[in-house]
Amino acid sequence: MALLNSILTFIFITIVSVTGVYILTGLTGMFSLGQASFMALGSYVSAIMVTKLGVPFIPACMIAVIMAVLIGFIVGLPTVRLRRDYISLVTLGFGEAITSLLNQFTKLTGGASGFTGIPKITNVWIAGGSAIVCIALAAFFKNSKYGRQCIAVRNDELAAKAMGINAPRVKMIAFLTSVAVTAFSGCLYAFFTTYVDPTLFGWKKSAEWIIMVFFGGSNSLTGSILGTFLLSGMPEVLRALAEYRSVVYAVLVLLIINFKPSGLLGEWEFTLRNIKALFQHRKPEDNNGNLSDTSKEITNDGIIRS
């Protein structure tokens, strides 16, 4: 039972992190290879606040999230105006810089030896409740005005600008929202494992989150959550393959790209309307509320059949 609770807690914390990545990558189309560095900021700042300054857990988490957002604003101010490939390079460099700083400030962070003595506060209920709140936040953001603008920017930024959308502002809002959610996941992580070190928050962690989003379906919040459940729980269930996680992820990405580029669920979302459509053999709606063409098939003679 204790092992099951531990696995579920870890999965819930990962879901919180991936929810932030979904807002940034799935909705807006930006790739951040330094996203895990904001998780590191949340972990270290909250841990230092509680263990060295005696700040209660909840205020410490709030301070950590606010500090991460402020740093994210400084990083994002010039970054969101760049092209998507340059954004990934800039965030990668930022992530490596954060890791280096954590290793240098030995007296404050513990350096390469890690930060110890963190009380264990996070449990399966706190992590599960936090995951539900963050999923609801992402769903609300997706259906809001800013979420629709993010989708427009992702699909065609030039066309979105021509329609009067302030693309840098929209991308900054998505970036800071993603930073806040990811930093909060770092707070949960630190007070669950009771130990953190800089090697836990490298670019590979950010890449894993992006893989989870694309595995489930970058256009579907439901798919991203499903992908996180499958990929984050797999190494725990199959412990013999845990050391081959990167290889397994690479194989899965190749399979998805070649056989189902849209991910497991594509654009499908878990909504009452789409559930009814499944049972009534109707076509589900896509992200824009339009009927999806996934139930249509084009034959060799060019005739479209349902």
pLDDT tens-place string over residues 51-106: 988 899 999 999 999 999 999 999 888 888 877 778 888 888 888 899 889 888 88
Instruction: Give me the chain's average pLDDT, please.
Output: 82
Give the angle subtended at the CA of 187 by the CAs of 114 and 209, to the nearest 5°: 90
Beta strands in the chain (DSSP E): 297-298, 304-305
pTM: 0.82
Query: Which residue carries 């060799």 as its tokens?
Result: 300
Percent of the chain with pLDDT over 70: 81
